[in-house]
Chain A
Amino acid sequence: MNVSPAESGQNDILAIAQAWAGEGRKIALATVIETWGSAPRPVGSHLVIDSDGAFMGSVSGGCVEGAVVTEAIDVIGSGKPKVLEFGVADETAWEVGLSCGGRIRVFVEKVG
């Protein structure tokens, strides 16, 4: 049986990316490319972001999505891909990070 975007629903981020691009939205795709320690989402997890900051999917348990969205909007503008790295959150420095203690790398690219 074929899995169509309609059937796979909100979990098929690549299908959503194709649909959003088809609607003419300017979008970027973020992908977890490497993890260390107790990373919340496995390698290959996706987040799709549009130029208005709307997003679907996840690259962490919600810890770094905000920062990835900001970078993604930048990437949509420049067209240049980026590799982001996030480590343990440092509360005193108010950095964006992973509270679970893991470390992840995220590749962000424009689609289209």
Chain B
Amino acid sequence: MDAALLNALNEERFNRRAALLITDLASGAQRLVREADLAGGEDAAHLRQVLLSGKSRTETGDDGERFIEVHLPATKFVIIGAVHISQALAPMAMATGFDVTVIDPRTAFATPERFAGINLIADWPEDVLPDVGLDRWCAFAALTHDPKIDDNALAAALKAECFYVGALGSRKTHAKRLERLSGLGIDADMQARIHAPIGFDIGAQSPAEIAVSVLAEAVAALRGRESKREARG
């Protein structure tokens, strides 16, 4: 591998951008394909699938054998609200491979006892989210039911293009939320990206079951398997 190519690949990785390194196994010839380069072209759709799968692979085609090395940034899951659902969701998301952070300014909720082994921040989301670093490889769920805590964080998650943005609440609650988000400069397109009511409809009842439905929805969004959704409102 050319040293400059290695540096370019690491540059993508250190900046949390997805990339592929494609190696022709016969000749050793290599090229770096950034996610942004996968806009068009006949191979692009296939490479995009491989990228989203997160799994490196060897494939044999007309041009011989090539190895596609997939580099995805570590995925984060930022959960607003140290609530009962979060107590189930946080460890499940960690087990799934997410780098999890739970944020809630209410110190009665955000206690180490309730969130043993979880990265927990007892502070206002708007104060700590810049450090947590929302980005495209981040899943986000607003679970407090409290607009004072959820709204600004939701707006930040949408602006940061988090790959999954979910918000707890009934359709009625969500309609009111969208009105407030409009006031925060979130347009209709961005609003339509919010998964609300949150989670796949699996008839979840308990907090843990709701956590399963939220986590499944987030994984589907990550892997590009999201079913087409009607605009919500």
Contact = CB atoms under 8 A, between A and B. Distances in A.
A87 to B, nearest CB: 17
Contact of B1 (A1, A2, A111): A111
Contacts, number: 65
B28 A44 contact: no
Q: Bin chain A's interface residue count.
A: 20 to 34
B182 interface: no
B10 A15 contact: yes
Contacts of A105: 58
Interface string B24-53: 010110000000000000000000000000
A17 B52 CA distance: 26
A70 to B, nearest CB: 19
Nearest to B132: A1
B205 interface: no
A17 B6 contact: yes
Q: Bin chain B's interface residue count.
A: 20 to 34
A3 interface: yes
Interface stretch (A27-35, A51-59, A93-101): A27-35
29 contacts: A1-B16, A1-B132, A1-B133, A5-B14, A14-B6, A18-B3, A18-B7, A18-B10, A21-B6, A29-B1, A33-B25, A33-B58, A34-B58, A43-B55, A43-B57, A44-B55, A44-B56, A44-B70, A80-B28, A81-B25, A83-B25, A107-B23, A107-B67, A109-B1, A109-B23, A110-B1, A111-B6, A112-B1, A112-B3
Q: Which 5 A-B pairs have the closest CB atoms?
A: A81-B28, A44-B56, A112-B3, A1-B133, A33-B67
